[in-house]
Structure 1
């Protein structure tokens, strides 16, 4: 039996990716779409300026878009996917949870709240049980689960492999992030063509804090942040999709470039529909991965790594992931699959 789902912020860039991935999904059935007040009452075809590189799903195109409030969503919707701007999500998402809805959210608000699980199922699926603490503390029948920032999710699977084998102590990362990460109108052509922008507001802090929560330990009551130090520098470059990151990872145990590559290549997916069999693809070529060539690794849900080089205290490598697939819409759907499997719906 399909799980009936709704999408908040369905007309935006991530919302459209959610629609693209959910329409053929074997577990989920789209039953409700919401957007701004100006879109409410229109069909999805009328409300969404469709920009995904695939046709708008015909069975979704005629769904009437509702306002983004709990009373506009049918009671029999089991799971909500949220791609709202964080300023809106901060107010609206708790209202849906109070009304009894379970929310899998890509929005940045609340990710570091002590009772909100922040998960990558292949990395820290056990953190989802923080929902029990959340429900006790907030008195919700619903629940709120977050996926991390698109830049954080690109490097953390590789870091988890290194930490498990060699004990991470310090991480430094410089990102080259695609323009789609800012949304369709987020960076003007006059800003980005023939240019690189060495600042993305709030991005460094997200990478530095979220990675420590994702790699932290959960004791059934709270998440203890990982004690590694993380420093990030984030840059916008004129690629469409795919965040490329240069990572320097220091470890307590000695690690060679070959050992690091083997540890990452051994990482497998989990038993969820959207999780690839091999999560991390290792390239031997020194000039890979590249955004145009490798962002669609494992249908956009894999992480590509390469360029391994030993350093004084650890290893340097490059990693890449599709920022709107693995880094946003696909991550939220994968978390929804985890919620379904764990019996939270």
Structure 2
């Protein structure tokens, strides 16, 4: 049997916590081969082992990533890559991810920038795989050959996984939700651990709105119009 060729992929924002998680998940993947790592320009020309301190508990930096050069987050710097997994912060993700889509690459984004765009799928395959049809409209409207696909807020994701079978079976009219979340979604710098010791932050602006709007989008029907 002929061995299947894996798809060459890259990780943007590779030195951060989310980028490291992407790298970990891609190790030994049957479909994807990690061939590129993108980060800020100041890291250019050095290997991943030289510029990144591995912070994920329980394992060491994968050897296959350690030897890869770190390049700027520009399409031409990453060569013949078909898919990029973006762990870029929202402050810079928008323009950079669009550049990769224009260059013909599929961008799977962890950032919030495009989540609520009408032509960008906010995708959980088990819930709304049919929303991937939005890619056709996205390419037409934005005049690019690649695409951007986003994931949801960390609270909305498990919520819609639970609501989807209920909606399909009974319908859902109203949901009341309380979320208990991690200290920060901002990676290693995040909030000071000293501020969180024996403490709780009862409200962070924007979180409630994201849960509501993203849940409605994912549980809604895709309308090409």
RMSD: 1.1
Select the residue among 109, 113, 125 that pairs with 2:113: 109
Residue 188 (structure 1) aligned with residue 192 (structure 2): yes
Q: Which residue of 1 aligns with 2:136?
A: 132
> For residues 103 and 20 of structure 1, what CA distance do their matches in structure 2 show?
18
How much does 1:150 deviate? 1.1
Q: What secondary structure, in the 3-state scheme, does the structure 2 residue paired with 1:104 have? A: strand
Residue 143 (structure 1) aligned with residue 147 (structure 2): yes
Q: Which residue of 1 aligns with 2:54?
A: 50
Q: Using structure 1 for the length normalisation, give the TM-score.
A: 0.62
How much does 1:171 deviate? 1.5
Q: Which residue of 2 aligns with 1:177?
A: 181
Q: What secondary structure, in the 3-state scheme, does the structure 1 residue paired with 2:29 have? A: coil
> For residues 173 and 12 of structure 1, what CA distance do their matches in structure 2 show?
30
Q: Deviations over 1:61-101 (max 9, x none)?
A: 01000011112111x21111001111111111111111111
> For residues 203 and 34 of structure 1, what CA distance do their matches in structure 2 show?
29
Residue 156 (structure 1) aligned with residue 160 (structure 2): yes
Q: Which residue of 1 aligns with 2:9?
A: 5
Question: How many residues are aligned here?
Answer: 220
Q: Deviations over 1:156-180 (max 9, x none)?
A: 1001121111211111211110125
Q: What secondary structure, in the 3-state scheme, does the structure 1 residue paired with 2:180 have? A: strand
Q: Deviations over 1:295-339 (max 9, x none)?
A: xxxxxxxxxxxxxxxxxxxxxxxxxxxxxxxxxxxxxxxxxxxxx
> For residues 69 and 18 of structure 2, what CA distance do their matches in structure 1 show?
19
1:182-331 matches, within 5 Å, as 182-219=186-223, 221-222=224-225
Q: Using structure 2 for the length normalisation, give the TM-score.
A: 0.94
> For residues 182 and 65 of structure 1, what CA distance do their matches in structure 2 show?
21
How much does 1:181 deviate? 2.7
Select the residue among 90, 107, 112 that pairs with 2:94: 90
Select the residue among 12, 15, 19 that pairs with 1:15: 19
How much does 1:55 deviate? 1.0
Q: Which residue of 2 aligns with 1:63?
A: 68
More displaced, 34-43 or 138-147? 34-43
Residue 122 (structure 1) aligned with residue 126 (structure 2): yes
> For residues 90 and 199 of structure 1, what CA distance do their matches in structure 2 show?
26
Q: What secondary structure, in the 3-state scheme, does the structure 2 residue paired with 1:91 have? A: helix
> For residues 180 and 53 of structure 2, what CA distance do their matches in structure 1 show?
27
Unaligned runs of 5+ in 1: 223-345
> For residues 196 and 38 of structure 1, what CA distance do their matches in structure 2 show?
36
> For residues 109 and 172 of structure 1, what CA distance do their matches in structure 2 show?
26
Q: Deviations over 1:172-209 (max 9, x none)?
A: 21111012533211110111110001123422211110
> For residues 37 and 88 of structure 1, what CA distance do their matches in structure 2 show?
13
How much does 1:130 deviate? 0.5
